[in-house]
Structures are given as structure tokens and as C-alpha cells.
Amino acid sequence: MTAIAIGALNAAPAPLANTAGIIPATIAMVVIKIGRTRSEYGTYGEIVNMPVHAVVKHPENLTMEQAAASWMMFVTAYGGLIEFGKVQKGDFVVLGGATSSVGIAAIQIAKMQGANVIALSRTHAKGDVLLQKGADFVIATKEDDVTAKLLEITNGKGVNLVFDPLGDKEAAKNYQRNDTRRQIHHLRCIKPR
């Protein structure tokens, strides 16, 4: 999905590719037991054959619908923050599009790593929700001077990582002016409003 979103592939994702269900049978190489719940990525059908690397156990407290839906937001956020961003304890992480499903997942993942989360939203209307979800700070991109706020929050040092799953061009200008210490993950997933 990320490769498609950033334009690295000229293909559309398969419809209903995220799924969850029960493993009815296994072959010798499979280490997950029959009857266990699991989630899959890249499937479409009532019964499918999957390679071992594409099957994972999901938490028992999730419904099948929740397990299937969690892939998009959490895998996207995990890839940007952990695999590419290498978020560490104490880092200042800016999350663009923080009120989106990927943004909420990113808040949770960054907090689990011990990062200081700066959530961006167009207005302050959803600021309390973002703080309840775990953000340490909220900046409204249409109401605040983003660069000034980022420098104020970080005591003039700048942020370590910017993860923007929405790819907002205006927000990108603010990031480029900020003294970002590490890197920016700016995905062009949807047309900005």
C-alpha cells in the first residue's frame, strides 16, 4: 500500500484485500495451529491459500472485522515510525493527519516507543480527542504558526521525525523550515483538502 501511495507502483490495491478468519487446515511448514484466529493481507475469497509469512495471529479480544481492518492503519504507521523512522524514547515526533485512522494508530505506536507526540490537525476542534488518544501536544495547521509552535515545544531544537500519511503540501512547507534532526516521511496518499 505504501509503495502505491507514494507512487512507486502504478497499480491499485486489490479490493477487500485485508481479511481475518479461522485456519481450517495446515501443511507441514505451518507453525500456527488449526482453529486459531489469524489475520491476513492480500486475500479475497472464502477460502484462500496463504504463504506462512503472510499469516499472523491476532489478539483474541478483536472481532474478525476489527482484526481485518487493523492492517491498513497500524501497518502504515508502524512502517513509517518504526521500520523507516526508527523512533526512540525521548524523540519529538510530528504526526500529520493525526485525526485519521493512521494518525490515531501512529499516536499509539509512537507513545509505546516513549516518544513525545506532536499531533497536527487542521483546527483545534478535535484537540481534546487527540490528547485523550495519547498526543502530548496538538497544533492546528490552519490556526497556529506551525513552525513557531514546533520550535517552542522542542525548546528550539526541532523535531526528530515527521510522519505525515496525508501528504499535505502546506504542512510539508512547515516541516522543511523546521530544524528536523532526522527525517521526514511524507506520503502522498490522498488529495489534501
Residues in the chain: 193
Distance CA 51, CA 30 (A): 9
Cell numbers describing residue 91: 524523540
Q: What is the pTM of this model?
A: 0.68
- Alpha helix ranges (H) inside 81-138: 101-112, 127-133
Q: Give the per-residue pLDDT at 34.
A: 62
C-alpha 171/C-alpha 141 separation (Å) is 7
- Enumerate the β-bridge partners of residue 120: 139
Beta bridge partners of 16: none
From residue 27, give the alpha-carbon distance in Å to each of 39, 170, 188: 18, 52, 40
Do the beta carbons of residue 38 and residue 32 sit within 8 Å?
Answer: yes
CB of 101 within 8 A of CB of 109? no
* Domains present along the chain, CATH in parentheses: 2-71 (no CATH), 76-186 (3.40.50.720)
Alpha-carbon span 35 to 14, nearest angstrom: 27
Rounded to whole angstroms, the Cα distance separating 82 from 79 reads 6
Task: Give me the tens of pLDDT residue by residue for the chain, a chain 193 residues long.
Answer: 444 444 444 444 444 556 677 777 766 655 666 666 555 445 666 776 666 666 777 778 888 888 877 777 888 888 889 888 899 999 999 998 899 989 999 999 999 999 999 999 989 999 999 999 999 999 998 999 988 999 999 998 888 888 887 766 655 555 555 554 555 555 544 444 4
Contacts for 117 with CB less than 8 Å, ≥ 6 apart? 93, 95, 107, 110, 111, 134, 135, 136, 137
